[in-house]
Structure 1
């Protein structure tokens, strides 16, 4: 018995007419009748009572009809599902992201994927940039929105946005009223920044910005999280250079000021080049529709 035999049986059970059932299955009546007889012989059960005028389901036949319909529906669903998975329209996608992308980029990506592929289960994980690199390498994340890293040939990347650094200070700080701030103004400031081991792209950008003006930055505090950096600035414990994307809601005690010739950096969607997850390819195709 296979699904083909089940379809023969269902056709007859639903029409209760050998000629009509055979036509539905694109067969002539004699071979169709032989198939029904073979099914009953294989099962050792009479499924139909028939005479020259009528075909009627037996009690066993009625029960078998319900089971066959369930099996065929499940089989058809499995065939649809495997095609959806292969097309990236069903399955699971583990997407990592840094907090720099949490406010503007990630919500748009989630909406886009949810609308286009509602059967893809999206698992979101907010991580530090250094953790994201490792998790992608270990295939514990399928893709991520993070800072661009030109030294990562093992990753496929697509530019999503370009961000820039801004200075944040306590509202009582002398630089709070400056129109623009250059590196020279930071010479005697206590800088608060994440360590290079956590956010190498940002730390390198800050160091290069100061070095271009001959300034050696004084990193007084080095918390790992940008939210912690913002809170420390709010307490007047130093100043910080943070991505502009994080400056929209700093609170009343913090002021952000633009930098002269601010360092810029890329925010990218990336995934291992060796990824076999079709949902990753679908995501990369979908992001072409977005502008940030």
Structure 2
């Protein structure tokens, strides 16, 4: 197999078309330079230089090999820097899970922040509800999750990214949308509710049942995806509790109403990751969130 030194010798001769000048550039004498070119040609299996005249000329094979040689040398020069970037976490891949609502909230700004700090980092996005993200983290199918938790999980590291209010999404032509005031909890009585699933969206389910009186007979659907719930609200199928960031979805036919007696920032979004992850890019990603 030929060596990078042989390739460098060939490129120098090909660019100068003169063995003496190429040898001077490479800080060597002509005889060893000629031997390196001859070894290279034997490995390649073709003459790369035409030495028959007074001047050195590139053969057709030599012209093609020169183009590829320049690429090869460029790659060889960049490879150590690329390896250092991967080792430092500045280059590589982070697989990130996120909830649909996070896609309308902090996700875009978060990605912009990280890419500004780590432009060579690749980020693979996977939309999942929080429960699915936690399972994917445990199975190491993702490196980082954007999810919602009531209490920290001891086996995961976390960072709070966002606090927001809980709103009520209602059909734009509903009586609630016509009220000339903010809602109160009592306004929910008698409303058909599109509810969060107790299994797939436990975080929101617990907040709602812990703070509102929802008649079981008024629950029309139980779902895990917020934007699906908002779409059903737009169709007039009921009202739904959603995080404030869902407003950014701007689904036609939906109004987002606030509660005067429940205005705390109860909806929290966390970045979650495994502290034992071996992915150096993850540490750089988390550091960029600061």
TM-score tier after normalising by the smaller chain length: 0.7 to 0.9
Change (3 A) 1:154 1:55: farther
**Does the CA contact (< 8 Å) of 1:95 and 1:141 recur in 2?**
yes
Report if the CA contact (8 A) 1:148-1:265 is conserved. Answer: no
In 1: Cα distance, 2:69 partner to 2:228 partner: 61
Contact 2:182 / 2:257 at 8 angstroms: preserved in 1?
A: no
CA contact (8 A) 2:195 2:240 kept: yes
Q: How many residues align?
A: 278
Distance 1:55 1:272, change over 3 A: farther
Report the TM-score when normalising by structure 2: 0.75
Return the offset for 1:234. 4.8
Say which SS state the counterpart of residue 258 (structure 1) adopts. coil
Aligned mate of 2:208, from 206, 209, 213:
206
Deviations 1:185-204 (A, max 9, x none): 55665543212211222112
| Structure 1 residues 103 and 255: CA distance shift in structure 2, 3 A | closer
Alignment check: 8 A CA contact 2:229 2:240 kept? yes
Residue pair 2:99, 2:130 contacting (<8 A) in 1 also: yes
Cα separation, 2, equivalents of 1:58 and 1:235: 72
Q: CA deviation at 1:259?
A: 4.4
- Matched with 1:40 is 38
Contact preservation (8 Å) 1:49, 1:58: yes
Change (3 A) 1:80 1:253: closer
Aligned partner of residue 289 in structure 2, secondary structure? helix
Q: In the alignment, is residue 104 of structure 1 matched against residue 105 of structure 2? A: yes
Aligned to 2:87: 86
Mean Cα deviation higher: 70-79 or 134-143 = 70-79
SS of the residue aligned with 1:140? coil
Whole-angstrom distance in 1 between the partners of 2:195 and 2:92 = 39
Unaligned 5+ segments in structure 2 are none
- Contact (CA 8 Å) 2:89, 2:282: kept in 1 or not? yes
After superposition, the CA RMSD in angstroms is: 3.6
Report the equivalent of 1:243.
Answer: 243
* Partners of 1:19 and 1:265 in 2: CA distance: 74
Deviation string for 1:52-71 (max 9, x for gaps)?
A: xx662463655654443343
* Distance 1:225-1:138 versus aligned 2 partners, 3 A rule: same
What is the TM-score when the length of structure 1 is the normalising length?
0.75
Paired residue for 2:270?
Answer: 268
SS at 2:168 equivalent: strand
Instruction: State the Cα distance separating 1:206 from its structure 2 match.
Output: 1.7
CA separation of 1:250 and 1:64: change in aligned 2, threshold 3 A: closer
Residues 149, 136 of structure 1: CA spacing in aligned structure 2 closer, same or farther, 3 A cutoff? farther
For residue 154 of structure 1, report the CA deviation from its aligned partner. 3.2
Which whole-Å deviations, capped at 9, do the CAs of 1:158-196 have from their partners, x for residues lacking one?
Answer: 2221112123445314994443424x5556655432122
Tell whether the 8 Å contact from 1:169 to 1:175 is kept in structure 2 after alignment.
no
Q: Which residue of structure 2 aligns with residue 172 of structure 1?
A: 175
Corresponding residue number in structure 2 for 1:133: 134
| Distance 1:266-1:37 versus aligned 2 partners, 3 A rule | same
* Secondary structure class of the residue paired with 2:205: helix
